[in-house]
Chains A and B, each alone.
Chain A
Amino acid sequence: MRVIDDMTAILTGLWTTWKHILRRPVTIQYPEEKRIPSPRYRARIILTRDPDGGERCVACYLCSAACPVDCISMQAEEGEGGRRRAAWFRINFSRCIFCGFCAEACPTMAIQMTPDYEICRRDVMDLVFEKEDLLVEHCGKDPEYNFYRHAGIGVTQPRGEGEGEKPTVDVRGLMP
């Protein structure tokens, strides 16, 4: 009978919702209770340093190019010892969509995402982070990595002296 089927359906529904009334809510009362996000969570972006304390960022513009919303801008300059670095580096977090493309693109592991998601500001202009706000005093997720050990030829070490590099070949010599 259709009427009986319909009534059973309605009563089953009512019974289900009744069970849910008695169930514990899953709500997390945010400012008081906070869940700890995974370390891979993509939130506030930082610029890390290498193990020696030098700035990792070489102002290569790759992050800026990868950014789908164009919220990273910088100006490259040459620092002490011929190392490239950013004269200024700016991320506009009011536009950032936290996609993580910048961190993926970065060849030096300089730009990294952190799990700190509490970056609301009253004034939208406060969401424009400058280099001073972004630069941190640690190595972030990859504490060993030092870009200049592998590359940066002729700037921090002579040619052929980097980690995993073969000694230079004398191109003018006859022997291979």
Chain B
Amino acid sequence: MAGADVIPDPMEITLVIAKIGLVLLVILTLAAYLVFAERRILAWIQDRKGPNRVGPFGLLQPLADLIKLLTKEDFCPPAGDRWLFFLAPAMAAIPAIMTFAIVPFGAPVRIFGRDLPMQVADLHVGLLLFMALSSIAVYGVALGGWASNSKYALLGSLRGLAQLISYELSMGLSLVPTVMLARSFRLSDIVAAQEGGWFILYQPMAFAIFLVSILAECKRIPFDLPEAEGELVAGFHTEYSGMRFGLFFVGEYINILVLGGLAATFFLGGWQGPLLPGLLWFWGKVLAFAFLFIWIRGTLPRLRYDQLMHLGWKVLTPMALVNILATAWWLYLAGSSPL
């Protein structure tokens, strides 16, 4: 943040805008290529080759997909709610992109004689903002399904809501110990607190809960119940076509990147790591999480709905609560310096 200055100087504003532009560019490109990577890796898992026709190794496939999506008919079901139907995809994708504003993605650099944090906005309550935005994102799913006026879409969005309620809780609770250890909601402080050792070493349980919760959060197998193509056609986005479907789709992949980045920030030391520059460490961790998500998708079947509820309410949430109590007790015994 600019500090005590009331009027930030133009240089500051330019740098922030440049950062936002860069982050948007990187995230969107990466998300597009994540779709491609997912298709290739899933193909390898299934002993296939995957898309390899467009350009060398199929690297231009995302472009071809984009052209296809943009030129398709943008259809709204006649009985649907036009406004909500058209707004919902943006409501799903925008919070995902916005969350990235608080993620520190590299060590601060000195540029034009000033320290530039590699983070769009270093909020005091960054963690809370993340929780808030991730709750907003589900409105896109819920309203998209509602506005479609179709049984499948409605069932999908209902499932999305119920899933959110059961997972947001364990996700939030699993982050409490990291806040207790770092003594701050600010993400740059959380990263700084992990200089001596990543939080995954102190909080393996919280990390496991967070990992399961973010899998559910970005609605991926084994928690892809809102989509569940085997049961609900395509779930909440059954009625969507063209670029609006593309927004839902790319939103999911942006979500993977953002949640992977947050998991890295909260538990794997963010951009910190030996030898290599911080930027490489951070993006390496994000891509490792993305790979893990794809790998899991290629392996596990979808949970049944009651199993998901059972896991969320009866396993993860109590475990997270016990973990908080254990951490608090440990901190109390260790005194003022926990690490």
By a beta-carbon cutoff of 8 Å, the part of chain A in contact with chain B is 10, 13-14, 16-18, 20-21, 23-27, 29
> What's the least CB distance linking A111 to chain B, in Å?
38
B59 contacts chain A at the CB level, 8 A cutoff: no
Instruction: Check A21–B48 contact: CB distance below 8 A.
Output: no
Contact pick for B49, options A18, A21, A27, CB 8 Å: A27
Which residues of A sit under 8 angstroms from B300, Cβ to Cβ?
10, 13
Q: Which of B20-54 contact A (CB under 8 A)?
A: 41, 43-49
Asked whether, in the complex, the Cβ of B299 is within 8 Å of the Cβ of A13, the reply is yes
A20 contacts which chain B residues (CB < 8 A)?
44-47
Q: Which residue of chain B lies nearest to A16 when distances are taken between CB atoms in the complex?
A: B299
Docked Cα-Cα span, A24 to B44, in Å, equals 8
**6 A-B residue pairs with CB within 8 Å:** A10-B299, A20-B45, A23-B47, A25-B44, A26-B48, A27-B48
In the bound complex, CA of A23 to CA of B300 (Å)? 19
Residue with the greatest number of chain B CB neighbours at <10 A, chosen from A16, A21, A24: A21
Residue contact A25 to B48, C-beta cutoff 8 Å = yes
| A-contact bits for B286-308, CB 8 A (1 contact / 0 none) | 00000000011011100000000
Given A10-B299, A18-B295, A23-B44, 20 more A-B residue pairs with CB atoms under 8 Å apart are A10-B300, A13-B300, A14-B296, A14-B299, A16-B299, A17-B295, A17-B299, A20-B44, A20-B46, A20-B47, A21-B45, A21-B295, A23-B47, A24-B47, A25-B43, A25-B44, A25-B47, A25-B48, A26-B48, A27-B47
* Contact partners of A27 in chain B: CB under 8 A: 47-49
Q: Which residues of B contact A23 (CB under 8 A)?
A: 44, 47
How distant is the Cα of A13 from the Cα of B285 in the complex, in angstroms?
A: 23
Q: Which 7 A-B pairs have the closest CB atoms?
A: A27-B49, A17-B299, A13-B299, A21-B44, A25-B49, A17-B45, A26-B47
Q: Is the interface of A mostly helix, strand, loop or mixed?
A: helix
Contacts of A18 on B, CB cut-off 8 Å?
A: 295
Find the B residue at minimum CB distance from A22. B44
Q: Are B44 and A14 in contact (CB under 8 A)?
A: no
Q: How far is A112 from B299 in the complex, measured between Cα atoms in Å?
A: 46
Is there contact, CB below 8 Å, between B296 and A21? no
Q: Which residues of B contact A14 (CB under 8 A)?
A: 295-296, 299
Question: A residues within 8 A CB of B47?
Answer: 20, 23-27
User: How far does the Cβ of B243 sit from chain A's closest Cβ, in whole Å?
Assistant: 30
A15: min CB distance to chain B, Å = 9
Within the assembled complex, what's the spacing in Å between the Cα atoms of A10 and B49? 25
Chain A residue at minimal CB-CB distance from B297: A17
Query: In this complex, what residue of B is CB-closest to A9?
Result: B300
- Tell me which residues across on chain B come within 8 A of A24, comparing CB atoms: 47
A17 contacts across to B, CB distance below 8 A? 45, 295, 298-299
CA distance A114 to B45 in the complex (A): 36
Could you tell me the distance between the alpha carbons of A16 and B295 in the complex, rounded to whole angstroms? 11
**Contacts of B44 on A, CB cut-off 8 Å?**
20-21, 23, 25
Please give, as numbers and ranges, the residues of chain A lying within 8 Å of B41 by CB-CB distance: 21
How far, in angstroms, from A25 to B47 measured CA to CA in the complex?
4
* Chain A contacts for B46, CB-based, 8 A: 20
Nearest CB in chain B: distance from A159 CB, A: 64
Residues of A with C-beta under 8 A to B299: 10, 13-14, 16-17
Residue in chain A with minimal CB distance to B296: A14
**C-alpha spacing A27/B40, complex, angstroms:** 13
| B residues in contact with A29, CB < 8 Å | 49
CA distance A14 to B299 in the complex (A): 6
Chain B residues within 8 Å of A21, by CB: 41, 44-45, 295
Nearest Cβ in chain A — how far from B188, in angstroms? 33
Q: Which chain A residue lies CB-closest to B292?
A: A14
Residue of B nearest to A15 (CB): B299
Complex CA–CA separation, A25 to B48 (angstroms): 5
- Kindly list chain A residues whose C-beta atoms are within 8 Å of the C-beta of B45: 17, 20-21
Q: Which of B247-303 contact A (CB under 8 A)?
A: 295-296, 298-300
Q: Cα distance A17–B298 when bound, in Å?
A: 7
CA separation between A17 and B49, bound complex, in Å? 15
Q: Which of B82-113 contact A (CB under 8 A)?
A: none
Tell me, in angstroms, the Cα distance from A84 to B232 when the chains sit together: 60
Complex: how many Å from CA A27 to CA B41?
Answer: 14
State the CA gap A20–B48 with chains docked (Å): 10
CA distance in complex: A106, B47 (Å): 42
* Residue among B46, B296, B299, B300 with most chain A CB within 10 A: B299
Contact with A along B148-184 (1 / 0, CB 8 A): 0000000000000000000000000000000000000
Once bound together, how far apart are the Cα atoms of A33 and B65, in whole Å? 26
